[in-house]
Structure 1
Amino acid sequence: MDYIEKRQLILKGKISKVILTLAGPIMANNLIQTLYNLADTYWVSRLGSTEVAAITLIWPVIFLMMALGIGVSIASISLISQYIGSNNMEDAKKVAGQVISFSFIFSSVLGLIGALSAHYIVKAMGGEGILLEKSVTFLRIIFFGMPTLFIFFAFNSIKQGQGDTLTPMKYSAFSALLNIILDPIFIFTLNLGIGGAALATVLSRGIFSLYAVYRLFSVKNGIRLKKDDLYLNKSVLTKLIKIGFPASIGQSTAAFGFIILNAFIIGFGEATMAAFGIGNRIVSLILMPAMGIGSSISTIVGQNLGADNVKRAKEAVKTSAILSTIILAIGGVIVFILSETIIGFFAKNDPIVFNQATYYLKLVIFTMPLMGFFQIFMGTFQGSGHTIMAMILTGGRLWCLRIPLIVLFKNFTDLGSKSVWFAMILSNALICLVGYGLYKSGKWERKVIKKTNIDNE
């Protein structure tokens, strides 16, 4: 399906078909990344427990850096989709060129600073001895390769803004496959150890990032860049940063919030921490369809707002909520029935972890539709360009609700370790009410582009 056909589908096609067409590749991409992470962990685990601990220790730092890059990508989806919806390809091209240039410059500076500071960062997180050495080796290489990650984010956002979620999925699949091939070669054959794992990640991602950029200059339909589009444009960059900054802040505070959350959870003991980790891995798999739908709705909302069709944008949100609820309800029932069997794969030999993880999974299953609504509200606000609303949801759920509730339940109730589970459920419910209130306010219905040329906005 070419660019024109995809635009017609998004603006005039059957809503449920549009959602599933866009969400399908995103779901597949999420699954690919999950399998890739498992494969990566498997090869590193062959080196020893210290190497696994090193990657676990520094992952929050990497996630935090990723969060900083996601903001501009979210802004570009909003702007590109709205410009395409309004049939303004010229300004969509300008945004695409700027997001590539900004992502490269920003990630290069961030990566260099991070690489030079890697030793101090890991030490501040408590890394010592061999763990410190291994963590710094891995983190430094990832920092130097940061541009490859940010450029890939930029490419994905440019394609998604046009309604093309299939191409990024293909590139991600090939990149993940190459990484799986390179891991054992670099780690064992070339004897590079944990540094080989990081190098394999950067190289496999870098090859396809370069190819992705090349395709943006050679594609025959949709956004096709020229060299002039890469020159920094103050007015376009200002708009990108204005919309992207709240998204970056929201993602970053959420990333940092999870670090703090883990610190509170570990206070209940290692068994609770292990149960939390196991339960979350299973929940994340169930949530993949809802996350795919939430990501797809940002493009659908953006293009229809750009075309001044608010009614259809609302219809898309409503249909997304129905589809998400049905999928999560079916998945939830299956997992509830099989919960003890599933948890048994991960905690068969530890009855304390088994009991806590099973209790958590059964409890959280009942609130799965709420997590679907959260994803849809996020996609709606991001697609409309009202990223402050999205920031309120991402930051508020952790900092204003979940963490305070854990402290409250821990100190003023007899729930014990169950405080974590009930705090999660209640925070999800309350933040959905906040999201619904923001949605009903109607402020998201105002598009963030104007009819004039972007250079004159």
Structure 2
Amino acid sequence: MTTGSVSPKLASLAWPLVVGNLLQTFYNLADMFWVGRVGTAAVAAVSLMFPTSWLFVSLAMGLTAGSVALVSQHIGAGDDRAADNVVAQTTLLTVIVGIALSSVGYAFRHPLLTLVGAEGAVYVQALQYIEVLFFSIPFTFLFFVFRAVLRGAGDTRTAMWLMVLSAGLNVVLDPILILGFGPIDGMGTQGAAVATLIARVFAAIVGVYVLLRGNWGIQLRPEDLTPDWPVLKRLISIGYPATIDGAARSFAAVAMAALVARFGPVPTAAYGVGVRLMSVSWTISGAVGQATATGVGQNLGAKSPDRAAEVTWKATVGTLGILFAAGGLMVAFPGIAMRVFTNDPAVVEEGISFLRIIGPFLSFFGGLMVIQGGFRGAGDTRVAMALSFLSRWVLRIPVALLLAYGWTLQFGPIALSGMTWGVGGLWWAWSISALGSFVVGVLWFSLGHWRQGVLEEEQRQATAD
């Protein structure tokens, strides 16, 4: 990513990430498709648990944010051995954290379900789903290490092929375990979680094997698996804002799901399907943002900040164009999209309303993710975190309370009187927050404070010492 025309190299780096992320989304869509054959309560249960499961995925992404920045900048600077050490330290850190989170989540699963508003049959099926999913967390974290370090080195295709195999395994197992086949009894929502667990264990084992082989530009060296405290400190320093960012995003998703749940199972089911349809666009913009992070990191390591900026702006414009077209399809054909996952007329009707409000603003969700990728590649994860807080906790949640529940918000001498738009107010809160946070993100990146990369900062600190 440090030489030649930016756009073709960015596309070459991004398309395997897009495919990999789409396959990750295919996991979720396949779960929802087959769970939808069980009943509305099962759909609502998985919908409520989706933000919670995404919380742990976001934490894994946060933990590996430091490795992307460090590996990419070491590769750009030509120091491959230092990059290998970062791989080992990232693996050590994420495995320890993954096991700890899995244990804590399982211990507090009952209060968690009560917190998000699960009741009756939805509570029972959500519990069956989340209990199994907690066991998959350490393996999920290992796979994210694999993806992150290869991405930092500029190899996105190897992870894509592993995702193809893992997603294919999940898709085959879903109908068998959810609905039953031959001597295997259907397990409902629990079957969806078991299929996910098996697929993630497979991906983690193969990913570790690939890293140990070291034939793909980066290597996991067993002798490096002892704590290297300066590197661990740097990983935590860069990664903790991204981890907080991931947690804040996921807790905001849990909070929104809880706000929707207060309107009943029909809006909850419609919301779950709608968010999964939106997640297709997030996989595209998330992949482009990941490619942007690699491009920015490698160019800052090679001391080419202007080229790093060019990578970010071209990635942002391309993403806006693609997602504007996708949003147009959502607005034009919302009923067709909803009926793929549910035949309940009430759920379809509410889902149509959701997609028509969200669709015109879909591109701004993606544009912000690309801008955040630019900041993460520079190692400036605190700004990316601040933009996530702005989008969700400063704009989305307060606006949701204002428009859907009629709350009055007080800002010093200024009071905003609430509306009572009902569940539609929640859908508008998504759209308003997307536009506002994107504008702020563009202006913030334009200031250029990110141009000093992590390695340059380390060198300046070493000189000062």
**TM-score, normalising length: structure 2:** 0.86
Q: What displacement does 1:157 show?
A: 0.3
Distance 2:175 2:259 in 1: 36
Distance 1:426 1:151 in 2: 36
1:253 aligns with 2:244: no
Moved more, 271-280 or 57-66: 271-280
1:385 aligns with 2:376: no
User: Residue 141 of structure 2 is aligned with which of 147, 150, 159?
Assistant: 150
User: Residue 209 of structure 1 is aligned with which of 200, 204, 207?
Assistant: 204
User: Residue 292 of structure 2 is aligned with which of 287, 292, 297?
Assistant: 297
Q: What displacement does 1:398 show?
A: 1.1
State how 1:70-81 maps to structure 2 within 5 Å.
70-81=61-72
What's the counterpart of residue 7 of structure 1?
Answer: none
User: Residue 53 of structure 2 is aligned with which of 59, 62, 69?
Assistant: 62
Structure 2 alignment gaps of length 5 or more: 407-416
What's the counterpart of residue 317 of structure 1?
Answer: 312
Deviations 1:363-386 (A, max 9, x none): 433333322321111111111111
Moved more, 10-19 or 268-277: 268-277
Distance 1:95 1:435 in 2: 29
What's the counterpart of residue 4 of structure 1?
Answer: none
2:58–2:250 contact (8 Å) kept in structure 1: yes
- For 2:57, the aligned partner's letter is M
What's the counterpart of residue 166 of structure 2?
Answer: 175
Matched residues, number: 447
1:282 aligns with 2:287: no
User: Residue 37 of structure 1 is aligned with which of 28, 32, 42?
Assistant: 28
What's the counterpart of residue 92 of structure 1?
Answer: 83
* Distance of aligned partners of 1:205 and 1:222 in 2 relative to their CA distance in 1, 3 Å threshold: same
Distance 2:31 2:432 in 1: 34
Moved more, 292-301 or 32-41: 32-41
User: Residue 416 of structure 1 is aligned with which of 410, 417, 421?
Assistant: 421
Deviations 1:125-156 (A, max 9, x none): 55567655554444333222321110001111
Distance 1:425 1:144 in 2: 35
Distance 2:358 2:458 in 1: 48
Task: Give the alignment's Cα RMSD to 1 decimal.
Answer: 3.0
Q: What displacement does 1:77 show?
A: 0.8
State how 1:346-385 maps to structure 2 within 5 Å.
350=345, 354=349, 357-385=351-379
User: Residue 396 of structure 1 is aligned with which of 387, 390, 401?
Assistant: 390
Q: What displacement does 1:259 show?
A: 1.7
Distance 2:393 2:436 in 1: 13
- For 1:233, the aligned partner's letter is D
Moved more, 417-426 or 182-191: 182-191
State how 1:195-206 maps to structure 2 within 5 Å.
195-206=190-201
1:83 aligns with 2:84: no
User: Residue 440 of structure 1 is aligned with which of 434, 438, 446?
Assistant: 446
Distance 1:337 1:128 in 2: 35
Match of 1:163, SS state, is: coil
What's the counterpart of residue 108 of structure 1?
Answer: 99
User: Residue 429 of structure 1 is aligned with which of 435, 441, 445?
Assistant: 435
What's the counterpart of residue 409 of structure 2?
Answer: none
Distance 2:460 2:140 in 1: 27
1:41–1:52 contact (8 Å) kept in structure 2: yes
Distance 2:118 2:366 in 1: 37
2:87–2:219 contact (8 Å) kept in structure 1: no
- For 2:52, the aligned partner's letter is V
* Distance of aligned partners of 1:115 and 1:184 in 2 relative to their CA distance in 1, 3 Å threshold: same
Structure 1 alignment gaps of length 5 or more: 1-9
- For 1:437, the aligned partner's letter is L
2:48–2:257 contact (8 Å) kept in structure 1: no
1:268–1:416 contact (8 Å) kept in structure 2: no
